[in-house]
Structure 1
Amino acid sequence: MKFSPLFVAMLPAVVAFTGQAATYQVVELGPIDGYKSSFVSGLNNNNQVVGNLSNRFNYPIDLNSVDFTNSFIVANLTAAEIEEVKKGNINAKALTVLISYLQSASAVYTTQRFAATYPVRLDTKQLVRVRETAAVQTNNEYLLGINDLNQMIGYATTPFTRQSFTPAANATTPNPVTQQLWVPAPMHMAGVIFTDKGKYTLPPAYTDYGGGYSVGRGLNNTGKVIGYGSSNMAADTQTAIAKACDGTLEPKDLCYFRNAVGNAYETRGMVWQLDADGKPGTPQLLGFLGDKNSGKAHTRTDYPAVTYTSTPNDINDSGLVVGASMYSDSDDIRYYLIDQFTGRDEVYHAFHATIFDGTELKSFIDTKEWSSSYATGINNKNIITGYAVKNINSADRNRFFIYDYNTQKLTFPADLFASASTAPEAINDNNLVVGTTEAATAGSSIRRNVGFLYDLSANTFKDINTLLSCNSAYTIVTATDINEKNVIVATAIKEVEKRDVKGELMKDSAGNVLKEEVAVAVQLNPIANGSIDNCDSSAEQTYERQGASFGLFGLLALLPLALRRRRR
């Protein structure tokens, strides 16, 4: 049965905090009722915002697929509590145990699938279904961006359905038992484009042995979509998978999923052109920098081969794409750790910032000075932003860069302090850049992540929190996107009343409601003629506002870093 997208009811009012002397007003976009945390991923020039939710309250458990003899369940629930769960009486303690059980049993396909992320239009409070059609979501789904035509880009892992399967009889098991298995649909990941004509899957270049995969990363206003996906599979890998997945021991789709996920597919960056109906065509494959910027793999046989690939991160309306691709130098041999105990010498290889100009690839980062680099954003003036990585004080640090493609000028603007690690996310046509940086706490070695705003014209770099009123209830930890109106969307932390997994308020022994910090999606609107608040010196030194504590970063880790891309 197919279900329509879910609509979540919310009060029409939004919470706004302003100050008489601030330059940005904070408008809360989430979380949405029924979820604890919300994260922003992009906005357009109409102030339409997309993002993702996590930590669903009252997570629906399929008791028919719970193994109540599982050691984790038995160790954490009493026999009496287990009997109550079997009757459908699930309290907060039992639900916490069951959720942990589902998460730990992700590789056991007799167990219900656990969904951690839920896409949402934050400006309308509307949940969106990317691939899933079942009432209870069985996969992880993401929205990454929205353009000015109200077209949205996202991707989702494969949805599962519960199916009966009987293995083939053999000498060892002449009477096999029928199993109830959660079986995945083809394509372990699928990029999806939403247009006014419908919803379409981004087709990968290679689809054998499991349907291949695609991930949408971004889109512009002129019908182009960027991402990456499966481009091929080595012949020996094809042979091995075909032999293993003959359908006798488990369903072929499940076998393909278990064998093709990971490094089985060769991966390339891709660009899809949308037709008049918004349907994507066959992808154009993007190249890679290769050995010494040749676009080819190194040929040395005395060292391991390098996996060459490319990942686009942004595209402007002229179709200029920026991102990163694999670079190598076969004359530069370095020691690489394989795991924490062993390593070996290999040809130097790393992702480096790349401009994909049609079929031509261009690099602009000195690979001798910087160990790796990534271009993350480009505007319609061909100004590119990103970061390059260097070891500073025995730690890898991201150094923020600006590259003018028109003049081929590369600069590394100063951020909050010399060894801060900074990663820009987006640049608008006013040459304003937003992203994430580190702020230092006076008299301490603690570094805290904060959102930043850089003005290229004025060459000013600011912690966004200093642009809010001093009594703001929010601390901006990452700024994700900025449009041509200079509106910023970001993820903040905010202190709220603490709730358990069922959404019920938690209290201490004296009956006082406990507090906790949660991730919340926010929109920052410029205040006309606003000015920066003169907060007390300690607040400025520690880069803190009211409620500013960063013990929440485990929540931010729930969303993969790879999920973001946006409008243009």
Structure 2
Amino acid sequence: MKFSRLAVAATIAFSASSINAAQYRLEPLPLDTVSINHFAQAIADDGTVVATTQNEFNPPIDLTLLDFDSESLINLLTDVDAARAGNFNLADYTTLVNLLLSARANNSVTLQRLAEFRSYFVTGAEYDLIPGLDIVTETFDDYTNSVNVRARDILGSSTVVGSSDAPYLTVDYVNADGDEQTFVLSDHITRGFVEVNGVTTGLTSVETRLGGYSEAYAINSNMQVAGFGATELYGSGVDLIDTCADPEVRGDIPEELCLRNIRETGAGTTNALRASARTRPHIWQLDVNGAVINVETYDLLFTPEENDTFNYIARAFDINDAGIAVGDSMTGEGVVVTRPGSSFGQTEAQLVATMYSNGVTTELLPREENQLSNALLINDDYIVGTVTRESNGVSRETLFVYDLATETVEYPSGFFSTAGTTPRAINDNNIIVGESEVEASVETVREKNAFMFNIDTQEFINLNTLIECDSEYTLVDAVDINNNNEIVVNARLRAPSKEVNGEPVLNDAGETTLVDTVYAVKLIPIPNGEIDDCQFEVEVIERQGASWNFGLVALLLAMIVRRRRKV
């Protein structure tokens, strides 16, 4: 078989028009030196971004909390004496970091805690820590690095809200036998917070026993914060709170540990307080400095029977400048839902999309049309969320848009009619961004891409088509959009794997190992930008005789299909 010179060139290189054209310029956030995975959270109108890192490089280790004489630790380390002095080799440092990271999952009360998630303000090439409720101590002359902080919304460049743990601090105790013991404990589980001009304020729940429980999700221009938290505690553990103050009753343990055992393990789970808290929407009214002036809570859609002990919940996730909050509430009923990957349905407590305004909880959507629903976003014109519907025996989440003026709802399709679609944000230009499935397959987990949907024009666009064709990033989930139409996105990138100290992982040949990573990126509109044409064209291959290399044709077609599916 012979090919013409033109045909050979065509099989080696494909041509695409407008190679450098695009409508958005992609700008990676400068967090790859902080952690291997980082996630976008929100973007302000001035371009300031909030992002979250996972398992940061080079976490500090408190040597005083490690027993280097214990046989179990000695067996884990390669150089105990060097580690005891803080001179870790890479193998031992990795072992100790993994040990401390597992302390959270194992609910340890004696090991140092390391945060899995921390958050940052990002402006251009600069980033600054959002400490949440963490504090500076003498141990490291810095923050304890024990607090999980998830910043969720930003107002301007200096005000942010989110949720944070309490710092884990040491509590010294001498037991009845005279033995000195040191415990590592915190005062509360998750609590909402606001940071204004560098000053952090905790947003406590109405119920404050055992430290309470709250989460903050959104803030409007009037300094109202929407979220949810505990309004009441119930269950057997509540009756034990007062007993912790009595050493004769609590046993030979410090009071702090007694309270912690009720809060975190009293119900047999790591979040016992959350399981025994009646969770309701909270709207915190703040002053210009972030101090709490008032807290308003909202009820369920229904009133449970007096003897009904089920833990019904209602939550708020967003709030507009008119003070209207949206979220979801349980109905007191169950619904059978067949999740992807399951061959039969399971009964779930029904949650439905709700609106909270002027002290009233209002259901938004006709319940008979949807199995479940959830209101996630609101601007001055629309409420946006998800509905769960069954199609071909499988229940998937898709998009709904509720018009506040007409009180009507539409259900836009994603990239195809049964695509699972999740909205993440809406701006004042009525543009929604989020993630949607791009493969109409029978797989349990389908490929997802970031989307942009314009309510006014009804355009549903894959954001990957708006950046350069040769981008190494695949845009998976668009998480926020500001009023300048700048977007922050979580993207997938094949990047070198890194050690716990941030250095590249090398194989036996001294080469780097590539892994899928999550990178937070910022998309900036290009004035007069044009969509990059990523549809490759193949020249007709000239052949002689009857023979044909079908393997080569299949390879070419596969390459074309893969590229098209990416965009």
Quote the offset at 1:32 in angstroms: 4.9
Tell whether 2:312 aligns with 1:281: no
Change (3 A) 1:250 1:458: same
Tell whether 2:23 aligns with 1:23: yes
Q: 2:130 aligns with which of 128, 131, 135?
A: 128
Higher helix share: 2
Tell whether 2:146 aligns with 1:138: yes
Q: Does the CA-based 8 Å contact 1:403-1:409 persist in structure 2?
A: yes
Tell whether 2:256 aligns with 1:258: no
2 CA distance for matches of 1:277 and 1:65? 38
2 CA distance for matches of 1:430 and 1:27? 22
- 1:97 corresponding residue in structure 2: 95
Q: Does the CA-based 8 Å contact 1:73-1:98 persist in structure 2?
A: no
In the TM superposition, what whole-angstrom CA distance separates every residue of 1:520-564 from its partner, at most 9, and x where no partner exists?
111111122222222136678547788x9xxxxxxxxxxxxxxxx
Change (3 A) 1:251 1:391: farther
**SS of residue in 2 equivalent to 1:414:** coil
Bigger Cα displacement from structure 2, 390-399 vs 532-541: 532-541
Change (3 A) 1:19 1:534: closer
- 1:297 corresponding residue in structure 2: 304
- 1:178 corresponding residue in structure 2: 180
Q: 1:318 aligns with which of 315, 322, 328?
A: 322
2 CA distance for matches of 1:327 and 1:483? 34
- 1:57 corresponding residue in structure 2: 57
- 1:147 corresponding residue in structure 2: 155
Change (3 A) 1:84 1:277: closer
The one-letter code of the counterpart of 1:133 is: I
- 1:496 corresponding residue in structure 2: 495
2 CA distance for matches of 1:117 and 1:214? 18
Quote the offset at 1:425 in angstroms: 0.7
2 CA distance for matches of 1:207 and 1:445? 41
In the TM superposition, what whole-angstrom CA distance separates every residue of 1:158-178 from its partner, at most 9, and x where no partner exists?
1111121123x3xxxxx2522
**SS of residue in 2 equivalent to 1:105:** helix
Bigger Cα displacement from structure 2, 470-479 vs 140-149: 140-149
Quote the offset at 1:507 in angstroms: 2.3
Aligned counterparts, 1:132-531, within 5 A: 132-134=134-136, 135=142, 136-148=144-156, 150-167=158-175, 169=176, 175-185=177-187, 187-196=188-197, 198-208=199-209, 210-234=210-234, 236-243=236-243, 246-247=246-247, 248-260=251-263, 261-290=273-302, 296-298=303-305, 305-329=309-333, 349-381=349-381, 383-440=382-439, 447-531=446-530
In the TM superposition, what whole-angstrom CA distance separates every residue of 1:258-291 from its partner, at most 9, and x where no partner exists?
312332322211001112443112310122222x
2 CA distance for matches of 1:112 and 1:360? 45
- 1:559 corresponding residue in structure 2: none
Q: Does the CA-based 8 Å contact 2:337-2:395 persist in structure 1?
A: no
Quote the offset at 1:441 in angstroms: 7.8
In the TM superposition, what whole-angstrom CA distance separates every residue of 1:106-157 from its partner, at most 9, and x where no partner exists?
3221111121111100224111211111323112112111113732112211
**SS of residue in 2 equivalent to 1:281:** strand
Change (3 A) 1:543 1:221: farther
Quote the offset at 1:371 in angstroms: 2.2
Change (3 A) 1:64 1:432: same
Q: Does the CA-based 8 Å contact 2:465-2:532 persist in structure 1?
A: yes
Which has more radius of gyration? 2
Quote the offset at 1:199 in angstroms: 2.5
1 CA distance for matches of 2:407 and 2:413? 19
Quote the offset at 1:224 in angstroms: 0.7
Q: Does the CA-based 8 Å contact 1:465-1:543 persist in structure 2?
A: no
Change (3 A) 1:62 1:281: same
Quote the offset at 1:443 in angstroms: 11
The one-letter code of the counterpart of 1:257 is: R
**SS of residue in 2 equivalent to 1:96:** helix
Q: Does the CA-based 8 Å contact 2:335-2:371 persist in structure 1?
A: no
Q: Does the CA-based 8 Å contact 2:117-2:148 persist in structure 1?
A: yes
- 2:266 corresponding residue in structure 1: none
**SS of residue in 2 equivalent to 1:533:** coil
1 CA distance for matches of 2:304 and 2:35? 47
**SS of residue in 2 equivalent to 1:132:** coil
- 1:7 corresponding residue in structure 2: none
2 CA distance for matches of 1:475 and 1:482? 18
Q: Does the CA-based 8 Å contact 1:130-1:155 persist in structure 2?
A: yes
Change (3 A) 1:333 1:147: closer
Change (3 A) 1:278 1:500: closer
Q: Does the CA-based 8 Å contact 1:230-1:266 persist in structure 2?
A: yes
**SS of residue in 1 equivalent to 2:323:** coil
1 CA distance for matches of 2:174 and 2:453? 60
Change (3 A) 1:540 1:44: farther
Q: Does the CA-based 8 Å contact 2:320-2:380 persist in structure 1?
A: yes
Q: Does the CA-based 8 Å contact 1:24-1:467 persist in structure 2?
A: yes
**SS of residue in 2 equivalent to 1:102:** helix
Q: Does the CA-based 8 Å contact 1:30-1:520 persist in structure 2?
A: no
2 CA distance for matches of 1:471 and 1:485? 25
Aligned counterparts, 1:7-86, within 5 A: 20-67=20-67, 77=76, 80-86=78-84
**SS of residue in 2 equivalent to 1:56:** coil
Quote the offset at 1:426 in angstroms: 0.8
2 CA distance for matches of 1:388 and 1:242? 44
- 1:14 corresponding residue in structure 2: none
Q: Does the CA-based 8 Å contact 1:72-1:101 persist in structure 2?
A: no
Gapped runs of 5+ residues in structure 1?
1-17, 170-174, 291-295, 549-568
Quote the offset at 1:83 in angstroms: 4.5
Q: Does the CA-based 8 Å contact 2:338-2:393 persist in structure 1?
A: no
**SS of residue in 2 equivalent to 1:283:** strand
**SS of residue in 2 equivalent to 1:433:** strand
Bigger Cα displacement from structure 2, 348-357 vs 422-431: 348-357
2 CA distance for matches of 1:446 and 1:161? 40
2 CA distance for matches of 1:61 and 1:149? 32
Q: Does the CA-based 8 Å contact 1:224-1:273 persist in structure 2?
A: yes
**SS of residue in 1 equivalent to 2:211:** coil
1 CA distance for matches of 2:288 and 2:218? 19
**SS of residue in 2 equivalent to 1:94:** helix
CA RMSD of aligned residues (A): 3.1
2 CA distance for matches of 1:423 and 1:540? 28
Quote the offset at 1:333 in angstroms: 8.0
- TM-score norm. by structure 1 comes to 0.81
Bigger Cα displacement from structure 2, 475-484 vs 23-32: 23-32
